[in-house]
Every structure is written in structure tokens, then in C-alpha cells.
């Protein structure tokens, strides 16, 4: 979606230490809460201010949603759990209206001597078809759902989506390549559309394991759900940029029968 088609160009405004959610950050499940994509983007955006991306790289990012984050001014803090010459271990928390709503942790490693560049890369653009227009208008993302099939561990419901973060995280500050991958890892629900009439399946967590930092621009996400009737679905993502596979990611979706309202 072109920027001119959006009324809002960022997920959060900024007022001092507080982040002010815009409608791009509203949850599709409940409008008084923030959505997972926005929370992941904000946590990643603030994490990357804690270290030097030219000398270190994120190896793992894990986000746990402790409570629905109120749609209210939001504070994020990160603290260092461990730091030595090779490893930085960070813990972050997000609070809104006095409620600790998100816990995150990140493993950051010293970049190697031949760490790949994170800009440029060969052209990597998706086919123009199958734009997820409704999702795009609500989310600040440009998502193109390409296909679904049956390969890998799950026998059904496999999907491929191309994702690009269009909106800025905060005014004038676009999503980094790391933040974009974390947002892309929140796409598990696109593989589960046929269950929407009967089930709610909110996201409990997002975890991204990076092989290397992705390049800027479009990311391709191959998604397959593993659903074995135990109350949750584990979404398995493989994330690609123009140079090939760059990360693996998972979500835990918590299934509840959808409550039906009588007419």
C-alpha cells in the first residue's frame, strides 16, 4: 500500500519517554489493546538502541505477552542481564497504564569478521497479486499472501506471505531489518483462516532465531502450523530475504472455541 493511502504513518507517537499508540497499533481482537505486530516492532526498535548494530547482531528475540497491553501511553525499558566480549543478554519490559504487559529477552552476539551487510542485497520483490488489502490498511504492513499447500511437518494450512513494513515505528524512524523480521513473524494467523469462524486463537508469544540480520525490504515468510489438538498451535516460520534464508521463528497460538452470540 502506498503511504498516501494510509491516514497514519507510524505505529507510535512519542512524548518524552512515552510511546503513544496510534490506530495502527490497535488490536484486531479488542480495540482497547495494542496488537502484537506493533508491540514487537516497538520492543525491537527500543532494543536496537541498546547496542551498536555495526558491531553486534541479534541472534534471538523472544517476546511474551503477559497481558493485553492497554491502548494507552506506553513505557519500555531494557536492562542488561549479562555482557561480555561475545554475548549481550537483554531483558525488556513494556508497561502501559501501570500494567506490565510484555516481557522480552534478546541474545545479542558480537558480529563476526565476515558478518553480512544488512543493506542492499539483490532485488527481492514479490509478485503483485494477492495483496492483503484489508490487513494492510489496518496494520501498516504490506502483506501479499501467495499460496497455501501441504508440505513439511504439517499436512495442511501451509502458507507463504511476503511482508514489508510500510509505516514508521515512530515518526521519521522506519522499522529496522530486525524489527521487520519480528513483525513478519507475527503472520501465523494467515495460515489459519479456515478456523476463524469457530475458534479464537490469540498469540501468546513470538520468538525469532536469526541466522544473520535480514536485508532491508521485502521478506518472504513460509508458514506452517503444527496443531495436534492439545490446546495450542505452534506456528513454524522460515524467513527469507533476497539472499536466502535468514531466520526461523515461532508463535504459540492459544485456541479457544469462539463464543457464538444469538441474533
Partner 1 sequence: MRSLFRLEGGLFHPLPFAASPGAVECQSSAAVAGLLAREIELATALAPLWLARLTVEAPRAVPMAPVATRTRVLRDGKQLQLIQAELTIDGELFADAIGLRVRKGDSPYDAAAPHGLGGPDAVSGAPPFGVFGHDGPTRIRMVGGPSYDAFAYWALCEAGLVEGESATTVVRAVMACDAAAAMSRNARGEAACPGVDLSLYLARAPSGGWILAQNEAEHADPSCGLVSSLLSDSDGAFGYAHQTLLYAHAAD
The residues binding partner 1 (CB under 8 A) are 59-60, 62, 64, 66-67, 81-82, 84-87, 89, 103, 105, 107, 109-116, 151-157, 195, 199, 204-205, 207, 209-212, 225-234, 236, 245-246, 248, 250, 252, 254-257
Q: Which is nearer to partner 1, 95 or 205 (CB)?
A: 205
| Contact partners, residue 196, CB within 8 Å, separation at least 6 | none
Closest to 5 in 3D by CA, of 192, 167, 121: 167
Q: Which is nearer to partner 1, 77 or 256 (CB)?
A: 256
Q: Dihedral through CA 22, CA 28, CA 34, CA 35, nearest 10?
A: -100
Q: Which is nearer to partner 1, 151 or 259 (CB)?
A: 151
| Contact partners, residue 37, CB within 8 Å, separation at least 6 | 139, 140, 141, 183, 186
User: Minimum CB separation from partner 1 for residue 241, in Å?
Assistant: 11
Q: Which is nearer to partner 1, 175 or 246 (CB)?
A: 246
Q: Which is nearer to partner 1, 6 or 248 (CB)?
A: 248
**DSSP secondary structure letter of residue 46:** H
User: Minimum CB separation from partner 1 for residue 232, in Å?
Assistant: 5
25 phi, psi to nearest 5 deg: -95, 0
User: Minimum CB separation from partner 1 for residue 108, in Å?
Assistant: 11
Closest to 123 in 3D by CA, of 243, 2, 220, 1: 243
User: Minimum CB separation from partner 1 for residue 234, in Å?
Assistant: 4
Q: Which is nearer to partner 1, 125 or 198 (CB)?
A: 198
Sign of the dihedral through C-alpha 17, 61, 87, 238: negative
Q: Which is nearer to partner 1, 141 or 247 (CB)?
A: 247
User: Minimum CB separation from partner 1 for residue 181, in Å?
Assistant: 13
What end-to-end distance do the CA atoms of the chain give, in Å? 36
User: Minimum CB separation from partner 1 for residue 207, in Å?
Assistant: 6
User: Minimum CB separation from partner 1 for residue 171, in Å?
Assistant: 32
**DSSP secondary structure letter of residue 98:** T
57 phi, psi to nearest 5 deg: -140, 145
C-beta of residue 6 within 8 angstroms of C-beta of residue 137: yes
152 phi, psi to nearest 5 deg: 80, -155
Amino acid at each position: 500500500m502506498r503511504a498516501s493511502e494510509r491516514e497514519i504513518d507510524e505505529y507510535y507517537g512519542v512524548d518524552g519517554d512515552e510511546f503513544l499508540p496510534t490506530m495502527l497499533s490497535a488490536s484486531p481482537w479488542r480495540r482497547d489493546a495494542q496488537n502484537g505486530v506493533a508491540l514487537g516492532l516497538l520492543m525491537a526498535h527500543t532494543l536496537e538502541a541498546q547496542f551498536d548494530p555495526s558491531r553486534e547482531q541479534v541472534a534471538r528475540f523472544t517476546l511474551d505477552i503477559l497481558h493485553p497491553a492497554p491502548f494507552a501511553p506506553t513505557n519500555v525499558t531494557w536492562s542488561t542481564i549479562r555482557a561480555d566480549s561475545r554475548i549481550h543478554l537483554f531483558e525488556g519490559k513494556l508497561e502501559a497504564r501501570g500494567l506490565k504487559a510484555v516481557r522480552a529477552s534478546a541474545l545479542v552476539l558480537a558480529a563476526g569478521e565476515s558478518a553480512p551487510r544488512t543493506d542492499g542485497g539483490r532485488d527481492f520483490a514479490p509478485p503483485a497479486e494477492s495483496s492483503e488489502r484489508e490487513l494492510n490498511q489496518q496494520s501498516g504492513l504490506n502483506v501479499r499472501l501467495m499460496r497455501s499447500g501441504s508440505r513439511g511437518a504439517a499436512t495442511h494450512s501451509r502458507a507463504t506471505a511476503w511482508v514489508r513494513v510500510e509505516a514508521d515505528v515512530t515518526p521519521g524512524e522506519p522499522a529496522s531489518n530486525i524489527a521487520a523480521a519480528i513483525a513478519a513473524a507475527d503472520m501465523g494467523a494467515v495460515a489459519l483462516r479456515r478456523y476463524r469462524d469457530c475458534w479464537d486463537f490469540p498469540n501468546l508469544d513470538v520468538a525469532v532465531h536469526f541466522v544473520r540480520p535480514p536485508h532491508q525490504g521485502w521478506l518472504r515468510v513460509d508458514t506452517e502450523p503444527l496443531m495436534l489438538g492439545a490446546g495450542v498451535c505452534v506456528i513454524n516460520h522460515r524467513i527469507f530475504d533476497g539472499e536466502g534464508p535468514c531466520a526461523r521463528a515461532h508463535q504459540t497460538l492459544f485456541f479457544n472455541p469462539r463464543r457464538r452470540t444469538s441474533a
